[in-house]
């Protein structure tokens, strides 16, 4: 396997590991400040940081080693979606405040992004069938940057809770949650805008594939 694809594959491996480590304290109903809750934070932050950095490294090594390929153009965004939908699921169904119905990521944002990513994946498959590889565009890259920022904002909130810092310092967690919702709302708009951009540039290939 090429070096660039190894970094991409690392993102796919990191996604379920993040999911499991994140949810173990939730499944076990562990309180804030519990040793495993604290330990989970020590794993989750560097794990997410490493996973997101592989998105830079795979592109860097693909260009450096002349490994750019049609496979890589499809594998890289697939790994991005695999990782981000895993983390979004964590942040949608957990929240550090008493309003447990509302997670760090609004369900409405989650479902819209889910629909967008599946639609984008279908577009890539249809284009690949026609011999056209859909490479990442500028709008998609900006969207991904906001995905990353929003994930770390949500993880920071959960970390404050698990480390028991929220209660110790009486932090305004509900306000932090609203700020996080704002980031995820921006993600939705950027995701839809980038999808329309892809459709504008590759919609004709989809149309031809449907004939």
Q: What is the pLDDT of residues 148-166, one digit of tens each?
A: 999 999 999 999 999 999 9
Which residues, 6 or more positions from 104, have their beta carbon under 8 angstroms from its beta carbon? 91, 92, 94, 95, 96, 153, 154, 157, 158, 177, 180
- Give the residues of the chain that fall short of pLDDT 70: 96-101
pLDDT of amino acid 109: 96
- What's the gap between Cα 92 and its chain centre? 12
- The whole-model pTM stands at 0.92
| Sequence-ordered list of residues with C-beta below 8 angstroms from that of 135, at least 6 positions apart, any chain | 73
CA 12, 64, 143, 91: dihedral to nearest 10 degrees? 30
Pull the structure tokens for residue 4: 């660039």
For 175-204, write each residue's pLDDT tens digit.
999 999 999 999 999 999 999 999 999 988
């Amino acid at each position: 396997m090429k070096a660039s694809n190894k970094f991409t594959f690392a993102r796919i491996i990191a996604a379920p590991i993040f999911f499991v480590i994140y949810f173990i304290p939730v499944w076990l109903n562990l309180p804030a400040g519990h040793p495993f809750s604290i330990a989970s934070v020590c794993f989750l932050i560097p794990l997410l940081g490493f996973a997101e950095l592989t998105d830079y490294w795979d592109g860097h090594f693909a260009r450096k080693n002349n490994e750019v390929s049609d496979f890589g153009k499809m594998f890289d965004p697939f790994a991005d979606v695999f990782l981000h939908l895993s983390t979004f699921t964590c942040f949608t169904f957990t929240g550090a405040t008493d309003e447990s119905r509302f997670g760090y990521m609004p369900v409405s944002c989650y479902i819209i992004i889910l629909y967008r990513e599946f639609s984008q994946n279908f577009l890539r498959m249809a284009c690949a069938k026609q011999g056209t590889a859909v490479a990442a565009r500028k709008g998609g890259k900006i969207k991904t940057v906001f995905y990353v920022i929003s994930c770390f904002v949500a993880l920071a909130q959960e970390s404050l809770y698990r480390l028991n810092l929220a209660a110790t310092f009486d932090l305004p967690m509900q306000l932090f949650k609203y700020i996080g919702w704002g980031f995820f709302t921006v993600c939705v708009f950027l995701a839809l805008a980038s999808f329309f951009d892809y459709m504008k540039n590759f919609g004709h290939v989809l149309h031809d594939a449907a004939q």
